[in-house]
Structure 1
Amino acid sequence: MLAVTRVLAPNPGVYTLEGTNTWVVGSEPSIVIDPGPDLPAHLADVAREAGRVGAILVTHDHPDHTPGALPFAEMVGAPVYAYRLAGAQELRAGQRVRAGALNLTAIHTPGHTSDHVAFFEPGSGALFTGDAVVGRGTSFIDPPDGNLVQYLRSLTRMEELGPRTIYPGHGPVVVRAKEKIREYLAHREERESQVLTALADGPRTIAEMVEVIYVDHPKDVRPLAARSMLAHLLKLADEGRAERTGKTDEGPWISSTPRTCQRCGRTVKGKARYCSSCSLAMLQAER
């Protein structure tokens, strides 16, 4: 049975829920995931729980997950692996990180951030999701580093792994992992439908849509909601189903009809006249 222990960082907030979850996986040697903020007392707690550390992993470069990684590495004498972190060893998609008999596979899961990585232990079905899936509520997508199209692909990729338990970056452990991921996919589909419904009534700014769609949410989450709303609108714009008419991301935004390739009839992105396949074919024909 895989030994997993949580050490909760004392950084509660709107973004972090009760705080950042630092995960200690295995023992003698252990692997530590997301040391969290650079708080000496927290790092000391992690060191006591972890014992001999074989590797330190970082899911993504956000201030509630990363700053403690290098100081903790100096404390315990173990290497840090991250997709994007100065001073760490570069982590590659699909790379296996070993510590004793423990073997975790890095799964590149962009969307919450472009550098986001989850870690999977296939024997137990344990999936350490960082902020791609959290224990309560939904993940925050903040463009431009956050990208909803990539995020949806990452959710599907994680579901395909067949995880049994999710150990998130914030909030409680999720014991019905695949069900949780499906809930996340359904939530994004529902939110997109709400955005399209709002746009069907005419031009709308992001602030106007947030007031309607997030009417039952606390006001302190409205700034986060606005950024997630932008992520949905950028996805729809890329698909030709929404268009910004204002000079800034705030809008107003309007609904639009997807354009089709003038050569083959496939849907094209944005205002392109031809799909990528036809564009390439025509370029090759001209040579």
Structure 2
Amino acid sequence: MGIMVLRPSLSILRLKFGQAYVWQDGDELTLIDTGVPGAAAEIADALPDTSAIRRIVITHGHEDHYGSAAEIRSWHGAPVHVHSADAAVVRGTARKAEPVLTEFDQPIWEHIKSLGIPDMPVPPSTVDVELADGDVLGFGGGAQIIHVPGHTAGSIAIYLPVHKILFTGDTVANEGGVILGVFNQDEDQMLAGFRRLADLDVETVCFGHGEPIVRGAGPILREAARTHQKRRRI
């Protein structure tokens, strides 16, 4: 647990469950994902000044990514950014869609269920900004929003072309190698999104789950996307 610098201006927050990322522009911070409910205390302990958080960007509407958004927003009013297709889930006005499990997913799902993660109550959060594909946010020299539905309807990736950094959310993971993320609603859409991300010019890839690849990530991502096969549903 704690914070670790990956590259200048880029850090990872290792949480009890999952992870989040921090981008720094001068004295201003952007928080990408917030962990499960209760992770806000860990994030506060890791950051020297929580008032420096200028925005919260949520990659998708699952408990381990937006679970502490409401609490962190309450600190100093940092606006919460979510794709429009997942905004109702984050606001608490719609239920999340259940995943279509594959044979690969099933044992992992049973483990996650045993931890209570998919069923934990999440405090609803205000969504200040509804995102769309192609939006550009004011950090990292211009952060491009890429809509990659499939894991959820409103899943996004965030690309910083100036720095060649990509945040994949759960569209791609690095668990025993670079793979398609698990627990998806539409794997065909996921694969299309994976290939779209692999076409980007990247040096560093930050995953929702698994270790970031700090250097030389582009060829690794492209090879993984090229060779990935659709998983069989159960």
- 1:139 aligned partner: 180
What pairs with 1:37-76 in structure 2 (closer than 5 Å)? 37-39=36-38, 40-48=40-48, 52-76=52-76
Contact 1:2 1:25 in 2 (8 A): no
Change (3 A) 1:182 1:160: closer
Alpha-carbon contact 2:195-2:226 (below 8 Å) kept: no
> Are the equivalent residues in 2 in contact too, given 1:118–1:130 (CA < 8 A)?
yes
CA distance in 1, matches of 2:19, 2:42: 11
Give 1:77 deviation, angstroms: 2.1
TM-superposition CA deviations, 1:42-93 (whole Å, max 9, x none): 2323543665111110011111111111211111321010112322121111
Higher strand content, 1 or 2? 2
Structure-2 residue corresponding to 1:247: none
Which residue is 2:135 aligned to? 95
**TM-score, normalising length: structure 1:** 0.58
Q: Which has the larger radius of gyration?
A: 1
Q: Assess, with a 3 A threshold, how the Cα gap between structure 1 residues 157 and 2 changes in structure 2: closer, same or farther.
A: farther
Contact 1:29 1:53 in 2 (8 A): yes
The gaps in structure 2 that reach 5 residues or longer are 1-6, 92-125
| 1:113 alignment partner in structure 2 | 152
Question: In structure 2, how many angstroms separate the alpha carbons of the residues matched to 1:136 and 1:50?
Answer: 31
TM-score normalised by structure 2 residue count: 0.70
Q: Does the 8 A contact of 1:26 with 1:102 survive in 2?
A: no
- Give CA deviations for 1:199-258 in whole Å, capped at 9, x if unaligned: xxxxxxxxxxxxxxxxxxxxxxxxxxxxx521xxxxxxxxxxxxxxxxxxx5xxxxxxxx
C-alpha distance in structure 2 between counterparts of 1:61 and 1:186, whole Å:
27
Runs of 4+ in 1 over 4 A off after TM superposition: none
1:30 aligns with 2:29: yes
Unmatched segments (≥5 aa) in structure 1: 12-19, 193-227, 231-249, 251-287
Compared with structure 1, are the counterparts of its residues 50 and 133 closer, same or farther at alpha carbon in structure 2 (3 Å cutoff)?
farther
Residues 2-57 of structure 1: CA deviation (Å, up to 9, x unaligned): 5101111102xxxxxxxx22101014111100011122422323543665111110
1:3 aligns with 2:9: yes
| Structure with more contact order per residue of length (Cα contacts < 8 Å, sep ≥ 6) | 2
Tell me, in whole angstroms, the C-alpha distance in 2 between the residues paired with 1:46 and 1:34. Answer: 15
Give, in whole Å, the separation in 2 of the partners of 1:49 and 1:161.
33
Query: Which residue does the alignment assign to 2:232?
Result: 229
Aligned positions, number: 183
Give, as a single letter, the amino acid of the residue that structure 1 aligns with 2:220. Answer: K
Q: Distance in 1 between matches of 2:49 and 2:227?
A: 36
The secondary structure found in structure 1 opposite 2:62 is: coil
Alpha-carbon shift at residue 183 of structure 1 (Å): 3.5
> Quick one: which amino acid aligns to residue 139 of structure 1?
L
Deviation at 1:94, TM superposition (A): 1.0
Residue 191 of structure 2 corresponds to residue 152 of structure 1 = yes
Change (3 A) 1:67 1:133: same
What code does the residue aligned with 2:130 have?
A: E
Calculate the aligned-residue CA RMSD, in Å. 2.2
